[in-house]
Structure 1
Amino acid sequence: MLNSILLFLNMGTPELMLILFAVLLLFGGKKLPELARGLGKGMREFKDASDGVKREIHRNINAVNDDLSVDLDSKKTTESEQQTEKPHINS
């Protein structure tokens, strides 16, 4: 997975090392674990929120499908009841 991300960004080892070195210089060795933890928590919250949105969308789609199937079933039932109730007129 990491390899595919790096290929997508077209970043090699030298570029990655330069970025990591710049981050180390800017924030220091003691702040890096805090930053990584905060980034991990943020990514987890984002994933949870997006999963919640997906669940809500699927729940609404299923509710609409259930309503449509109930409406279609009730329509078929009413039509069959109407056909059985009509007396046949023989001329």
Structure 2
Amino acid sequence: MSRGEVIKERIRFLTEYLKILWVVLITASGGSASLFMNLDSSLKALLLLIGVVVVVITSSMIGVLTLEILELFEKLKQEVEDNE
């Protein structure tokens, strides 16, 4: 397997991981918003806090993963240019 193929497979893997993180972000955001609209107990407040933490962590992971995918695209572009 060539270096270019390894980079392509890594991009595919990270892209699937990114999709999962987006689903987690959307569901956690929706749940947190729902809890915020109907905040009438300490349990809901705790769940809201946990939801906000999950949203922040997931958003950070999406940003880091996106940057890593873009870096891999640059490496793949360089690999293609080197082979020409």
Query: Structure 2-normalised TM-score?
Result: 0.49
Largest Rg, 1 or 2 = 1
Higher helix share: 2
